[in-house]
């Protein structure tokens, strides 16, 4: 890929895109005429360009803060380039690894006096985005990445939620790489994946039906038995009163002094004894009727519990089978010594905005020489090959070289065996010294921020709301999708003593994570 990237020819975007390019040209001329200093800065601004070939779907974008340029790549190399304006001093655009989480054609800022941010493509939920805007030829935004208006407009429909956005302090570009750690898919596993989805989906539907019926049966049994305690208490009270009357009659008979008094007391005793016997009979009969109902409540409750467990397993299997048809993202953090996995479910977020990303994997991972910096490297499966996948590597923070960084990682065999066989193009492995940013939540791909770079663009923004995590059911309580979510409070991870940290906060789960979701 490196040769393709460095030899691809380009042309000015206005030649390819027409009128929007002319608008961009006019804006560039206007900015360059402002001042001599402005003209000097403008002269160094990169040109807008497109590759002279048929472009495929964008896989990643790389923003160079130093070069004030963004470059978009498809499976074959770069396809679009344009100048940008990143955050100014004190409001710097954070460098790190992001992805598009929301798109809005005609966005208006809720933070900056309803400022127009056309063709907005959000990469964090606290306000960092790519969008069209004025380009003075140098960093001038409040933290966002401004692109030429026409470029942003033409780009908008070409990208998808989840597309990787890499913001690098320096110039960076993907290079081809091969390594045993990079997932190698198996054709038979990929070919079998759709039929497995069908099979486990049918099983999940049946499990859902059985669980729903068991729940209804348990509810009906509980409803039928609900009146038993009150009716039994009433009969017990009646028997207690009858027994008390009989005891009183016995006492009265024992204390009778005359034949007339004894006769009257005897009559009262007989009546009391009859009532006591009737009350006892009614109570015994009610208890005999109640016991099967109580047994039914217990039995149907246990059946419903077992059916719910089978439903959860079947739903999980169906969810995992569907996720196996999606590109997989892996994040390995030296700071936390953990490996994280997530995939886009393509389910709309329940509270609006963006899509839900699967968040269920978090396992320990071995990193050789964990005290030594490893850098931040993004490995991306660019396309299928005859032997598997063609991978690229982008390094935005040096520690080790990308290949050496891979050499230091030992992925648990279970993870490799379960993810590798169905890995698809656009799958990725990120290795970083950094923990996951607190911006990583259920509506984002992985977000990692370089802590040794300025992050002023975050300072003026409110923190993202607490993360929402899919419940164990996770399927709309009987449907085929993610439905129930609970809040998880973000945890601010203490500064890593091995590295200088910026002002940004880092995320660490406070909830136990599933150790297997496949």
Read off the pLDDT of residues 11-44 as tens digits, 9 standing for 90 and up. Answer: 333 333 333 443 343 344 343 444 433 443 444 5
Give start and end residues of each alpha helix (H) in 51-172.
149-156
Contacts of 6 (CB under 8 A, 6+ apart): none
DSSP strand pairing (69-74 vs 355-357): unpaired
Q: How far apart are CA 478 and CA 310, in angstroms?
A: 12
- Model pLDDT, residue 83: 97
C-alpha closest to that of 326 among 304, 342, 308, 306: 342
Section 280-295 average pLDDT: 83
Q: Any long-range contacts for 283-291 (C-beta under 8 Å, 24+ apart)?
A: 283/232, 283/235, 283/236, 283/238, 283/239, 286/231, 286/232, 286/235, 287/232, 290/225, 290/228, 290/232
Scanning the structure block, which residue is given the tokens 């968040």?
Answer: 359
How is residue 424 written in tokens?
């698809």
Scanning the structure block, which residue is given the tokens 């071995």?
Answer: 366
Q: How far apart are CA 223 and CA 297, in angstroms?
A: 9
pLDDT at 180 over 90: yes
- Model pLDDT, residue 112: 58
Under the banding of pLDDT at 50, 70 and 90, the label for residue 353 is confident
Which pTM was predicted? 0.71
Q: Do the Cβ atoms of 307 and 317 come closer than 8 Å?
A: no
How is residue 423 written in tokens?
């890995």
How far is residue 430 from each of residues 165, 182, 345, 476, measured CA to CA in Å? 13, 11, 20, 31
How is residue 229 written in tokens?
């305690």
Q: What is the CA radius of gyration of the chain?
A: 34
Beta-bridge partners for 392: 176, 380
How is residue 394 written in tokens?
């982008």
184 burial (CB, 10 Å; 0-12 / 13-18 / 19+) is: middle
Residues in the chain: 518
Read off the pLDDT of residues 182-203 as tens digits, 9 standing for 90 and up. Answer: 998 988 888 888 998 999 999 9
How is residue 3 written in tokens?
């040769």
Beta-bridge partners for 80: 50, 72
- Model pLDDT, residue 203: 92
- Model pLDDT, residue 501: 37
How far is residue 356 from each of residues 120, 291, 294, 461, 484, measured CA to CA in Å? 19, 48, 43, 23, 11
Lowest mean pLDDT among 107-121, 251-265, 277-291: 107-121
pLDDT at 467 over 50: no
Read off the pLDDT of residues 377-403 as tens digits, 9 standing for 90 and up. Answer: 999 999 999 889 999 999 999 888 999
Mean pLDDT across the chain? 80
Q: How far apart are CA 206 and CA 75, in angstroms?
A: 41
Q: How far apart are CA 495 and CA 279, in angstroms?
A: 74
DSSP strand pairing (389-397 vs 175-177): antiparallel
Q: Which residue has the higher pLDDT, 117 or 182?
A: 182
Q: How far apart are CA 492 and CA 507, in angstroms?
A: 6
């Amino acid at each position: 890929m490196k040769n393709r990237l460095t030899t691809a020819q380009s042309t000015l975007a206005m030649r390819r895109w027409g009128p929007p390019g002319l608008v961009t040209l006019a804006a560039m001329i206007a900015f360059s005429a402002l001042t001599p200093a402005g003209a000097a800065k403008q002269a160094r601004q990169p040109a807008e360009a497109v590759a002279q070939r048929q472009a495929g779907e964008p896989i990643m974008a790389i923003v160079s803060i130093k070069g004030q340029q963004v470059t978009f790549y498809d499976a074959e190399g770069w396809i679009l380039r344009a100048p940008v304006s990143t955050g100014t001093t004190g409001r710097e655009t954070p460098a790190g690894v992001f992805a598009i989480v929301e798109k809005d054609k005609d966005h208006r800022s809720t933070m900056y006096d309803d400022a127009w941010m056309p063709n907005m493509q959000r990469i964090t939920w606290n306000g960092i985005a790519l969008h069209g805007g004025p380009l003075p030829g140098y960093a001038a935004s409040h933290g966002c990445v401004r692109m030429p208006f026409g470029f942003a407009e033409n780009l908008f429909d070409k990208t998808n939620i989840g597309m990787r956005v890499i913001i690098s302090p320096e110039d960076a570009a993907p290079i081809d790489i091969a390594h045993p750690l990079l997932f190698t898919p198996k054709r038979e596993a990929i070919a079998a994946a759709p039929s497995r989805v069908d099979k486990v989906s049918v099983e999940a539907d049946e499990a859902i039906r059985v669980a729903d019926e068991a729940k209804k049966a348990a509810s009906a049994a509980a409803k039928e038995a609900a009146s038993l305690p009150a009716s039994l208490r009433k009969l017990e009270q009646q028997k207690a009163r009858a027994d008390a009357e009989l005891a009183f009659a016995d006492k009265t008979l024992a204390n009778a002094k005359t034949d007339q008094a004894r006769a009257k007391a005897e009559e009262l005793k007989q009546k009391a004894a009859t009532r006591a016997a009737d009350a006892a009979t009614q109570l015994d009969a009610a208890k005999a009727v109640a016991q099967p109902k109580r047994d039914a409540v217990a039995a149907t409750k246990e059946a419903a519990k077992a059916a719910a467990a089978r439903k959860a397993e079947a739903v999980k299997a169906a969810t995992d089978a569907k996720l196996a048809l999606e590109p997989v993202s892996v994040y390995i953090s030296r700071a936390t010594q953990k490996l994280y996995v997530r995939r886009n479910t393509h389910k709309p977020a329940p509270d609006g905005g963006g899509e839900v990303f699967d968040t269920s994997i978090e396992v320990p991972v071995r990193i050789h020489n964990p005290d030594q910096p490893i850098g931040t490297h993004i490995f991306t499966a660019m396309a299928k090959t005859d032997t598997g996948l063609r991978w690229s590597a982008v390094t935005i923070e040096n520690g080790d070289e990308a290949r050496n960084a891979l050499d230091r990682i030992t992925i648990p065999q279970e993870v490799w065996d379960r993810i590798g066989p169905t890995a698809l193009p656009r799958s990725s492995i990120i290795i970083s010294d950094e923990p996951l940013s607190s911006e990583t939540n259920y509506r984002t791909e992985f977000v990692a921020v370089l802590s040794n770079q300025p992050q002023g663009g975050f300072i003026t923004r409110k923190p993202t709301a607490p993360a929402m995590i899919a419940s164990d059911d996770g399927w709309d309580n009987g449907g085929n999708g993610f439905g129930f979510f609970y809040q998880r409070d973000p945890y601010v991870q203490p500064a890593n003593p091995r590295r200088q940290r910026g002002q940004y906060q880092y995320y660490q789960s406070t909830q136990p994570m599933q150790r297997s979701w496949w």
